[in-house]
Chains A and B, each alone.
Chain A
Amino acid sequence: GESVGLHLPTLSVQEGDNSIINCAYSNSASDYFIWYKQESGKGPQFIIDIRSNMDKRQGQRVTVLLNKTVKHLSLQIAATQPGDSAVYFCAEYSMEYGNKLVFGAGTILRVKS
């Protein structure tokens, strides 16, 4: 069925440390993945995406890793800052799902100063 899940609902990190947020997806046919950040009272904000023909993609302070063998996606945030505190969602896209993104449950990231 349609299922994108996150194992850790809350992650607390110290300012300046690196953060790793994990996501397990269930549909092996998914071929496009996106990480979104959602701050309180706002809509999901695009962070980074990756196609299934890649296993790593880097942005500014963020890296997404894709392991298709175990259907696992991760978001790495370098030098985490207080402004990174938010809920992070992974979302997957598959032609099987039609013209929509399917969101995971979300992980709360708390950055301690």
Chain B
Amino acid sequence: EPEVTQTPSHQVTQMGQEVILRCVPISNHLYFYWYRQILGQKVEFLVSFYNNEISEKSEIFDDQFSVERPDGSNFTLKIRSTKLEDSAMYFCASRLPPGQSLYSPLHFGNGTRLTVT
């Protein structure tokens, strides 16, 4: 079964440093997402991406965050200057476009644990 893959599984960085989290969505999916989960809390939406542009973003997704689809397979999340409170699990997800069923579920990767020290 195809799956979303994320690298690295764990990233440790110092406050103020830039990080790039990488994702390979499922190949025939067209919608891409980043969510984050602070330890013990719920999964929070960050951003959605379709047709090479951001379609939705949350208040969390400020100017320090950016997303990119640099080629036909990768989808990245960049944090320009990390803060302590950016420490969390970051999940990438993808889904099919609405077809005859109109809605389709998001499929998630296993996440990157980001630790900012």
Q: Whole-angstrom distance from the CB of B31 to the nearest CB of chain A? A: 7
B106 is contacted by which of A42, A101, A104 (Cβ under 8 Å)? A101
Given A34-B105, A103-B43, does the pair A42, B33 have CB atoms closer than 8 Å? Answer: no
Check: A13 CB closer than 8 A to any chain B CB. no
Q: Whole-angstrom distance from the CB of A96 to the nearest CB of chain B? A: 12
Check: A86 CB closer than 8 A to any chain B CB. no
Check: A62 CB closer than 8 A to any chain B CB. no
Q: Whole-angstrom distance from the CB of A49 to the nearest CB of chain B? A: 5
Q: B43 contacts A100, CB within 8 Å?
A: no
Bound: A9/B114 CA distance, A: 25
What range describes how many residues of B lie at the interface? Answer: 20 to 34
Q: Whole-angstrom distance from the CB of A86 to the nearest CB of chain B? A: 14
Q: A101 contacts B45, CB within 8 Å?
A: yes
Q: Whole-angstrom distance from the CB of B46 to the nearest CB of chain A? A: 9
Given A93-B103, A103-B44, does the pair A43, B111 have CB atoms closer than 8 Å? Answer: yes
Task: Enumerate chain A residues within 8 angstroms of B33, measured Cβ to Cβ.
Answer: 100
Given A42-B111, A100-B48, does the pair A51, B103 have CB atoms closer than 8 Å? Answer: yes
Q: Whole-angstrom distance from the CB of B65 to the nearest CB of chain A? A: 15
Q: B91 contacts A43, CB within 8 Å?
A: yes
**Chain A, residue nearest B48 (CB):** A99
Chain A residues packing against B (C-beta within 8 Å) = 31-32, 34, 36, 41-46, 49, 51, 89, 91, 93, 98-106
